[in-house]
Amino acid sequence: MKYTNLRELTVSRIGLGCMGMSHLFTGKDQPDEVHIATIHRALELGVTFFDTAEIYGPFKNEVLVGKALKAHRDEVVIATKFGMMTGEGEERKLGFDSTPANIRYAVEQSLKRLDMDYIDLYYQHRIDKNVPIEDVIGTLKELIDEGKIGHIGLSEAGQANIRRANAVHPITALQSEYSLWTRDGEDGTLDLLAELGIGFVPYSPLSRGMLSGKITTLDNFDQDDWRLTNPRFLPDAFEKNKEILGEVTSIAAEVGCTPAQLALAWLLAKGADWAPIPGTVRISHLEEDIASVDVDLTAEQVARLDKVTQPVGGHHNEAQMKMLDREV
């Protein structure tokens, strides 16, 4: 494994997105022991960066991650998120809420579920238009001073809010969807991160599995798999995207790696302080993903991948896209 710094936070170059072990994806209903074995294999392979959120499950994913990693607390970086749930106790439900009171409630509940004393990297999951970002970051700075969190992150934040947030306290990382097939950050956001010294954590770096080349049919998805409602996985789009994927598969064959490894190696080549977090429930896929750190691409190969044909369909549906902050 290789390592990098998100500002001053050292993490493995490949992290593990744990969401799919409890939330939205096929395989989420397997016994905890299966998922814990995957997390422990990641540890054996040198992964130190693990990503979860209170909304995943909801709540169950933090419990799972805590159960798997508590005995390894000093070896790992735990990232979790707040801001997409509101209310307290049994009344807690989906809803944007980054008020100081809700942040404080959320962090205490996450610490209990993780069964840990502090959170290494605490993200605002989505920008709350009703709460000034200065108030959000001010509250998080207080939590740093209190020793409850170590670093502050943003997720799917636009350039204006990134600048305003970083002016209150240095932001360690931005987590947003970015991959060969999703290029939203190229609107100037990635340039801003480099300017401000903020690390980048691309989620869905394999476009929800499509870039792995292993999804050839939708018939094997659980009926409640969220991807079945995603524009890129709707039947007509899915068939066209399988054809488009051939471009990536061809370059992977030239390089001598799998399509998944190529997609991850491209991300690693794009930024020295980038740490993608592919998710999986299978140890074989985990091992394949991590091997991407040893795939070296030439400048010419990176340039070709920069220009690959983009897929049919958006990476979110219309309602979900409205949740993303794109204010410049």
Residue 24 pLDDT > 90, yes or no? no
At 252 the pLDDT is 98
Is residue 147 a part of any domain in this protein?
yes
Residue 235: CB atoms within 10 A of its CB come to 9
* Cβ 201 vs Cβ 174: under 8 Å: yes
Q: Is residue 326 part of a domain?
A: no
Which DSSP state fits 256? Answer: T
245 pLDDT more than 90: yes
pLDDT for the residue numbered 244:
96
| Helix-helix angle 32-44:60-69, to 10 degrees | 50
Is 68's pLDDT higher than 90? yes
Q: From the candidates 3, 56, 122, 178, which is the catalytic residue?
A: 56
Mean pLDDT of 7-24: 96
pLDDT at 323: 87
CATH number of the structural domain spanning residue 96: 3.20.20.100
Count of domains forming the chain: 1
11: in domain: yes
Specify the pLDDT at position 28. Answer: 87
Q: Going along the chain, which residue ranges are E strands?
A: 3-6, 9-12, 16-17, 49-51, 77-82, 85-86, 93-94, 119-124, 149-155, 173-177, 199-203
**Across residues 59-78, what is the average pLDDT?**
98
Whole-number Å distance between alpha carbons of 92 and 136:
20
Q: Which domain holds residue 314?
A: 3-321
324 — phi, psi (to 5°)? -90, 135
Q: What is the per-residue pLDDT for 86?
A: 96
Average pLDDT over residues 214-219: 93
Q: Greater confidence, 320 or 110?
A: 110
C-beta neighbour count of 71 within 10 angstroms: 9
* pLDDT category of residue 322 using cuts at 50, 70 and 90: confident
| Contact predicate 78/117, CB 8 Å | no
Does residue 328 belong to any structural domain of this protein? no
- The verdict on whether 56 is a catalytic residue reads yes
Mean pLDDT over the full length of the chain: 96
Q: Give the pLDDT confidence score for residue 27 in this predicted structure.
A: 87
Asked if the structure places residue 228 within a domain, the reply is yes
- What's the rounded mean pLDDT across residues 71-98? 97
Judged against a pLDDT cut of 90, whether residue 318 lies above it is answered with: no
User: Is residue 222, in this structure, part of any structural domain at all?
Assistant: yes
Q: Are 43 and 78 a contacting pair, CB within 8 Å? A: no
Rg (the chain; Cα; Å): 19
- The answer on pLDDT for 42 being more than 90 is yes
- Separation between Cα atoms, residue 82 and residue 102, nearest integer Å: 9
Question: Once rounded to an integer, what is the mean pLDDT over residues 117-139?
Answer: 98
Query: Does residue 327 belong to any structural domain of this protein?
Result: no
